[in-house]
Amino acid sequence: MPDSVSAAAQRPIVSVCIYCGSSDAVDQRYKDEARQLGGILAAGNLRLVYGGGGVGLMGEAARGAYEAGGKVLGIMPQFLRTKERLLDEVETIVVQSMHERKMMMFEEADAFVVLPGGVGTLEEVIELLSWRRLDLHKKPIIFLNSGGFWQPFFDLVDFTVGKGFTPEAFRRTYKSVDTVEEVLGAIEDLASYDEEIDTRRVL
């Protein structure tokens, strides 16, 4: 976990971490968008940071980036090397645990894009949002809301806001976009958004 509010200082966006599903048994639309996003990051001269490997949307995004000549960093725990199939074409750091992987993904990135995924993706994004709520970072967080994929999640967050458990202002700490083409613009918007949000105060 970042240890102080100094971790919240804005820095130039040079690396973008993606969180997304590892399953291949999903709608082709999601895979196409992941691949397209990889290409867009490469074209924007942004390094893609991800969990490593070649499966699911993770693999698609990595291939999209390196095929477009972009830089890619994968971070893979030792025990998943075979299951999540390392890609030879990209730089991969092998770490010892899931915690180490997640921490390194956080530290290596200046912004985050959340694509459709399962419980692993949810776990990663919840931690990122909860650190934002605690003001431990101010890195932009963008959801690619492909066909409304993330709406049930937004509804759940809104429900916790409605019940007083999450401050209203927290909703402004992340952005949702409907198309891959809007991702970079949304990152820029959030990166230059300097209103101080008191994410801890509910009332």
Which positions touch ligand AMP (CB under 6 A)? 21-23, 51, 80, 84, 98, 101-102, 117-121, 123-124
- Per-residue DSSP letter, 99: H
- Which amino acid belongs to residue 179? T
CB of 120 or CB of 169, closer to ligand AMP: 120
Nearer to ligand AMP, 121 or 199 (CB): 121
Tell me how far, at minimum, the Cβ of 168 lies from ligand AMP, in Å. 29
For residues 60 and 34, the answer to whether their CB atoms sit within 8 Å is: yes
CB of 2 to ligand AMP, least distance (A): 16
First to last CA, the chain: 26
CB nearer to ligand AMP: pick between 101 and 167? 101
Put residue 164 in one of left, alpha, beta given phi > 0 → left and psi -120 to 50 → alpha: left
Say which residues have a Cβ less than 8 Å from residue 143's Cβ, sequence separation at least 6: 113, 114, 150, 153, 154, 174, 175, 176, 177
Closer residue to ligand AMP (CB): 141 or 197: 141
In angstroms, give the least distance from the CB of 30 to ligand AMP: 11
Q: Is residue 51 within 8 Å of 82, Cβ to Cβ?
A: no
> Among all residues, whose Cβ is closest to ligand AMP?
120
Q: How far is the CB of 112 from ligand AMP (least distance, A)?
A: 13
